[in-house]
């Protein structure tokens, strides 16, 4: 027990770094606003359309640019000053939030407005995400980067819990427009933090004249690391069949549970609470375990079990428990993959590897969002969730059964060099 407490305490050591602590504070405020907006946006789309397919389209438009711009976004984040790049993306996202707030406040918002703004925000997110993840390493240093990734994941999960719960209250009392205004203002916190922090960004001379050539270098490196490939496959399974279900939560709240915006807030907050507990408690513990492949595969399987329970629930407490329990698993998979990519990446290639990771995981979200929205529309929301749960069960079983080296894999934190270096 003492050892476990020590592991948890040491997990927060990056907060001793002043620059990381300042950025962490600004990011925490901004992320709560982001989840406030995502929840309100989902509810606005549902109110305008009462269509699960429309929810899927909005989610698709918000993630499709990640797939399309991935090869360039990582290269830009390696070549350019990441701090200045992030200031630009945060300013752009703030402007989009204010536009949506104004349209909603004026009572003239239409479905196509949300589609366009979601797509534009997706472009900003595609540029922002690899730069933001690599910037964490710039602030913390490689020695602390896995713990810094864990701490950053914690604030993401706290915001997933607090943002939707707050959104349910704000929408019910003040309307969706207020949620969008609050999100726009919240970007000021992270912009100010980026203006005051100082970071150390490793830069190397480009090995290729073209961005696509540099991206191919990153792809070639990944191919030399079979266990990283396995981890990315697990991430793809969770992103495609797990995270995508969140997009149809408005339908679960309204049609299955016969609730309102507060019910949606409770559901999304429950998912965030599960992910928070998973990040704070399970992630540090599982990263200290051997047999990494079995640990990650078990986390995916666990998520599938609880999605199957969610698919048959019409009682709010059981639905909240199911979403909470399923939310425990995703941080184990995602933080393991992101942390190892940061540690194993050669100097000057971290953002490109992270961009590749985002492309093959979150970049699949457009198709996943469309499929889960369409299947819920045609088959019904419960059956769509059940099907996703079955895939979450089958995926890790097939991976562990057909790849014996994955079952024996034990985590090594030794830096990996590019063959031939």
What pLDDT is stored for residue 398 in this prediction?
A: 95
Domains of the chain, residue spans: 18-197+211-408
On whether the CB atoms of residues 118 and 56 are closer than 8 A, the answer is no
pLDDT tier, 307 (very low <50, low <70, confident <90, very high otherwise): very high
List pLDDT tens digits, range 2-34.
665 676 677 777 878 888 889 989 998 998 888
Residue 369 has pLDDT above 80, yes or no: no
Q: How far is CA 308 from CA 52, 195, 245, 386, in A?
A: 19, 46, 12, 5
Q: What is the pLDDT of residue 4?
A: 57
pLDDT given for residue 101 in this prediction = 95
Three-state SS at 1: coil
Question: ∠ CA(128), CA(131), CA(133), 5° rounding?
Answer: 105
Q: Give first-to-last CA distance, the chain, whole Å.
A: 43
Q: How many residues does the chain have?
A: 421
Can you spell out the DSSP letters for 207-252? SSSSHHHHHHHHHHHHHT-HHHHHHHHHHHHIIIIIGGGGGGHHHI
Other residues' Cβ atoms within 10 Å of the Cβ of residue 44: 26
Give 206's pLDDT tier (boundaries 50, 70, 90).
low
Considering only 10-19, 208-217, 348-357, which range has the smallest mean pLDDT? 208-217
| Greater pLDDT, 25 or 155 | 25
pLDDT in tens, 284-299: 888 777 788 899 999 9
Cα 267 from Cα 407, distance rounded (Å)? 34
Distance CA 48, CA 294 (A): 44
pLDDT band at 377 (very low <50, low <70, confident <90, very high): confident
Give 73-135 as a DSSP string: HHHHHHHS-HHHHHHHHHHHHHHHHHHHHHHHHTT---HHHHHHHHHHHHHHHHHHHHHHHHH
The pLDDT score that the predictor gives to residue 417 is 43
Q: Whole-angstrom Cα distance, residue 113 to residue 108?
A: 9
Strand, coil or helix: what is 291? coil
Instruction: Note the pTM of the prediction, 2 decimals.
Output: 0.74
- In angstroms, the CA 86 to CA 70 distance is 16
Q: Is residue 204 pLDDT above 70, yes or no? A: no
Given a cut of 60, is residue 414 above it in pLDDT?
no
pLDDT exceeds 80 at position 362: no
Q: Using 50, 70 and 90 to split pLDDT, how confident is the model at 309?
A: very high
* CATH entry 1.10.287.3610 includes domain 18-197+211-408: no
Let me know: does 164 contact 320? Beta carbons within 8 Å: no
pLDDT at residue 72, rounded to an integer:
84
Which of 3-12, 98-107, 163-172, 277-286 ranks highest by mean pLDDT? 98-107
Position with higher pLDDT, 199 vs 231? 231
Is the dihedral angle over the CA atoms 118, 122, 128, 134 positive or is it negative? positive
Q: What tens digit of pLDDT does each residue of 229-252 get?
A: 898 899 999 988 998 898 888 889
- Give the pLDDT of residue 419: 36
């Amino acid at each position: 027990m003492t050892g476990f407490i020590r592991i948890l305490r040491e997990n927060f050591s990056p907060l001793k770094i002043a620059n990381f602590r300042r950025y962490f504070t600004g990011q925490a405020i901004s992320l709560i606003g982001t989840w406030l907006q995502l929840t309100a946006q989902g509810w606005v789309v549902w109110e305008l359309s009462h269509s699960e397919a429309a929810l899927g389209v909005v989610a698709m438009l918000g993630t499709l640019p990640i797939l399309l711009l991935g090869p360039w976004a990582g290269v830009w984040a390696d070549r350019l000053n990441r701090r200045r790049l992030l200031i630009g993306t945060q300013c752009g996202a703030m402007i989009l939030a204010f536009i949506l707030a104004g349209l909603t406040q004026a009572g003239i918002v239409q479905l196509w407005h949300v589609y366009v703004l979601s797509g534009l925000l997706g472009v900003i997110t595609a540029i922002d995400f690899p730069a933001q993840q690599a910037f964490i390493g710039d602030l913390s240093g490689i020695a602390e980067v896995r713990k810094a990734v864990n701490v950053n994941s914690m604030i993401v999960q706290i915001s997933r819990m607090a943002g939707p719960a707050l959104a349910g209250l704000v929408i019910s009392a003040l309307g969706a427009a207020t949620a969008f205004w609050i999100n726009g203002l919240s970007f000021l916190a992270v912009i100010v933090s980026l203006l005051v922090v100082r970071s150390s960004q490793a830069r190397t001379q480009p090995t290729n004249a073209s961005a696509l050539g540099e991206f191919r270098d990153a792809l070639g490196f990944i191919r030399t690391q079979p266990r990283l490939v396995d981890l990315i496959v697990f991430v793809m399974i969770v992103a495609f069949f797990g995270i995508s279900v969140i997009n149809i939560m408005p339908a679960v709240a309204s049609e299955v549970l016969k609730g309102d915006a507060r019910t949606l807030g409770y559901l999304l907050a429950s998912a965030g609470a599960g992910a928070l507990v998973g990040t704070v408690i399970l992630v540090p513990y599982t990263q200290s375990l051997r047999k990494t492949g079995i640990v990650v595969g078990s986390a995916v399987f666990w998520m599938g079990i609880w999605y199957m329970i969610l698919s048959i629930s019409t009682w709010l407490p059981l639905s909240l428990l199911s979403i909470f329990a399923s939310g425990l698993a995703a941080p184990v998979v995602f933080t393991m993959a992101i942390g190892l990519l940061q540690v194993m990446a050669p100097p000057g290639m971290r953002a490109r590897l992270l961009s590749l990771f985002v492309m093959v995981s979150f970049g699949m979200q457009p198709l996943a969002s469309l499929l889960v929205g369409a299947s819920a529309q045609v088959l019904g929301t419960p059956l769509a969730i059940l099907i996703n749960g079955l895939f979450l069960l089958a995926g890790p079983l097939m991976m562990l059964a057909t790849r014996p080296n994955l079952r024996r894999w034990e985590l090594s934190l030794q830096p990996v060099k590019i063959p031939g270096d």
